[in-house]
Structure 1
Amino acid sequence: MKTIIRDATASDASSLAALSIEVWLGTYIREGVNGFFADHALREFTADRFRSRLQDQQRTIFVSQNAVGIDGMIELIAGASAPVAGCPNVEIATLYVQPRHQGGGKGVALLQAGLAHARSSGHAGVWLAVNAENQAAIAFYERQSFQNAGETHYEIEDQRYLNYVMRRDL
């Protein structure tokens, strides 16, 4: 099935929210869903939040779309300060591909679209934060020439989760 990489539009907001909930819960909630994480996901991943993000001039969102609908997304934020020194100021805030579509090149295609956009916008590199327990994602980014630049934490209320900061020059 052919995949198209394109700019996200406001009409994609609900699909982006559903995709984000699916991937986030599937990646990070492995022992059962409790109210703490469910409330966080339902607060963070809403169509209204995506519509707002799509209007933000500092953000760029690309989607991968197959014949049925959206199966992946990448979001970049220009001017984002990295939590460690020496990183560029463009963050890859999100790179999600539905689990059943992983391994077929969609993540690489989305990443390449994001990197090309950053490069054509005059940026020298990008950075991202990845959960320290997500070995599959870390290995993916290493295969794409990202290097570990330090550590940070993803915070949900009073809980902190170790993330690695990775960077890549363009």
Structure 2
Amino acid sequence: MIATPTMPPDYTIRLALASDASNIAALGMQVWLHTYAKEGIRQEISDFVFASFSPASISELIADSTKFVLLVQHREHLLAYAVVKRGSPCPTSPELSIELETLYVQAHFAGLGLGPALLLACKEHLEALGGVAQFWLSTCHRNTAAINFYLKQNFQRQGSSYFQLGEEQHENFIFISPPP
């Protein structure tokens, strides 16, 4: 487990296990819907959520050797998680090939320092793997909470990419983490 000084002392960060798949799927679905289904649920949203956040798809994610998943727990309760993928070139800076694919914190636990603690734990884990601790991510251009969070963590915006949902393209802002 990785100890971090920025969150409550009885919270822990650890690598995900296969047995965590259902909890990660449930939390991922909850956070995604809360963040992006602002106008309600429609078929493309349901199809995406059930495909992306099924226990089977999360089990595959945990088993993927190019990725790692870190969890924040309080006792046996999952509160947040992050997914990092190695070998994923940034669309605007291809020399950066480590992507923070996901950083989800359950809304009830926002403001407790879990996001910054997960970012730090991701950097530390990358360094322990012998990798570079700098990474990139993309977030929806309408997700002002995430944008403000990453700017507060000294990430730099660097262009855009697009997320395809059904027939629609949604602009995502690309952010680069501060250099190590």
Show the counterpart of 2:127.
Answer: 119
Rounded Cα–Cα distance in structure 2 between residues aligned with 1:80 and 1:136: 25
Q: Secondary structure at the match of 2:75?
A: coil
How far the C-alpha of 1:87 sits from its partner, in A, is 5.1
SS at match of 1:166: strand
- CA RMSD in angstroms, aligned pairs only: 1.3
Q: How does 1:16-165 map to 2 (within 5 A)?
A: 16-85=24-93, 88-120=96-128, 121-165=130-174
Partner Cα separation in structure 1 for residue 170 and residue 117 of structure 2: 28
User: How much identity, in percent, do the aligned residues show?
Assistant: 31
Counterpart code for 2:175: M
Taking the aligned partners of 2:110 and 2:26, their CA distance within structure 1 comes to 17
CA-to-aligned-CA distance 1:103-129 (integer Å, 9 cap, x gap): 111111111101112233321510000
Helix, strand or coil: the match of 1:122? coil
State the number of aligned residues. 170
* TM-score, structure 2 as length reference: 0.90
The one-letter amino acid of 2:52's match is E
Render the CA deviation track for 1:122-168: whole Å, top value 9, x for unaligned: 21510000110011101111111110111001112321100000001
After TM superposition, which residue ranges in structure 1, 4 or more long, deviate above 6 angstroms? none
**Structure 1 contact 72–97 (Cα < 8 Å) conserved:** yes
* TM-score, reference length from structure 1: 0.95
Task: Show structure 2 runs of 5+ residues with no match.
Answer: 1-7
The farther-off stretch of 119-128 and 52-61 is: 119-128
The whole-number CA distance in structure 2 between the counterparts of 1:62 and 1:124 is: 15
Matched residues in 2 for 1:111 and 1:28: separation?
A: 22
